[in-house]
Structure 1
Amino acid sequence: MDHLFAYGTLMCEDIMEEVAGCRLTSEPGILRGYRRRRVKGQLYPGIAPEAGQAVEGVVYRHVPDSAWLRLDRFEGPMYVRRLVEVESTDGRRERAFAYVVRHSFLDRLGEEDWDFATFLREGKMRFRETYEGYSRWA
């Protein structure tokens, strides 16, 4: 499987291109049965299974092997790449990988949901300047 469901900072095409090392095509998608929450003290989110919840994001298509290596390093040990089923805006379902918070790191998730519009408005610039993960894949 070579698609990626992104639900946080990687929804920004410029950040995704930097991390993946290439430009990818994308379309909106929804991941049901998961909840997106802000990581405590951070500008980025994590997702974990939660019945009755849904996460809006984007599906990046045909991610090359070289990009997966960079993405794994960027996401780090807190996340595991998991195969999930994503729904497109027209109701079509397909499988894609998503980076899900590992069970041993769930205590790092805050109670508040993470909002993409707020991130774009208030946090993206700071994230790009300060996120330590960039040094792992640059």
Structure 2
Amino acid sequence: MAPEVLFSVIYGRKNPGKVFEDLHTVNPAILEGHIRRRVSAADYPGVVAQEGESVRGMYVTGLTDANIEKLDIFEGAEYIRQKVTVRVIETGEEKETETYIYLHPDHLEQGEWDFEHFKKEKLAFWSRA
């Protein structure tokens, strides 16, 4: 959801600027049949399957195997990378991709994860700003 966190994980800094823009595209997208909840006692969310729900996120292209390896390490053992289909908001196109699914749904709080609160209160920590 936060490009600053993605940049930080992949490049070790808040915003790699033109380098990222030349290699990748980032588009808002919807993942149907899933929910995003805050992981209990954590700043971050977990996404799990939930019929009739949807999650807004980012569809990113151009990631290398090395980028994905860094993301796998960042997400850790609490998540598994899984193939999904998302709908790109701008074009309506459906795209096959992968996302990180949280493995412990019983550790998720009720209610949607508050992205705006995260941006205001926690983003600087997670993006190495």
| TM-score, length of structure 2 as denominator length | 0.83
8 Å Cα contact 1:43/1:127 also seen in 2: no
Q: Deviations over 1:75-114 (max 9, x none)?
A: 0000000000000113210101000012xx2221111210
Secondary structure in 1 matching 2:92: coil
Give structure 1 stretches of 5+ with no counterpart.
1-10, 130-138
Identity %, equivalent residues:
31
Indicate whether 1:36 and 2:36 are aligned: yes
Provide the aligned C-alpha RMSD in A. Answer: 1.5
- The 5 Å alignment of 1:1-138 reads 11-21=1-11, 23=20, 24-89=24-89, 90-102=91-103, 105-128=104-127
* CA distance in 2 between partners of 1:73 and 1:113 (Å): 25
1:48: how far off? Answer: 0.4
Secondary structure in 1 matching 2:62: coil
Give structure 2 stretches of 5+ with no counterpart.
none
Deviates more, 1:110-119 or 1:73-82: 110-119
* CA distance in 1 between partners of 2:46 and 2:107 (Å): 9
| TM-score, length of structure 1 as denominator length | 0.78
Matched pairs, number? 117
* CA distance in 2 between partners of 1:125 and 1:109 (Å): 23
